[in-house]
Structure 1
Amino acid sequence: MAAGRRCPRTRAARRSDAGQADSFTWPDARTPNPRRIIVDMIEECARHADLLREAVDGLVGEDAPA
């Protein structure tokens, strides 16, 4: 296939999926909350950034530099 060309099935699948949100449920019938997922990802990134900061400046926790 030439570069930039796609299979007709791929294009058809993309058109049929357009505008439809993916659905997912856990076995106990709960569905994920996208807002909660994003908040969890932000919190996890903040934890990693804090670990990097602690490694750089040597201070642990939220204490201000002396």
Structure 2
Amino acid sequence: MKWRVILETDPQTGDWAVWCPELPGCVSAGETEEEALENIREAIALYLEPDPIVLKAGTILREVSVK
């Protein structure tokens, strides 16, 4: 799956800020562009990781795919 990310440098530190506009609050940073991209990949994976849920007896759970 591909996600758009936005990279910007901090003019004071030279570090890179990066965020994914489609995933509110999914942000990261790095000292280099490569490090920032690596970090946002991890942030996106964690953002998309499903939370554990407890279901009542008789509840049906299904998964769907989105292209």
Using structure 1 for the length normalisation, give the TM-score: 0.30
Q: Which structure is larger by alpha-carbon Rg, 1 or 2?
A: 1
Structure (1/2) with the larger strand percentage:
2
Question: Taking CA–CA contacts closer than 8 Å with sequence separation of 6 or more, which of the two structures ends up with the larger relative contact order?
Answer: 2
Structure (1/2) with the larger helix percentage:
1
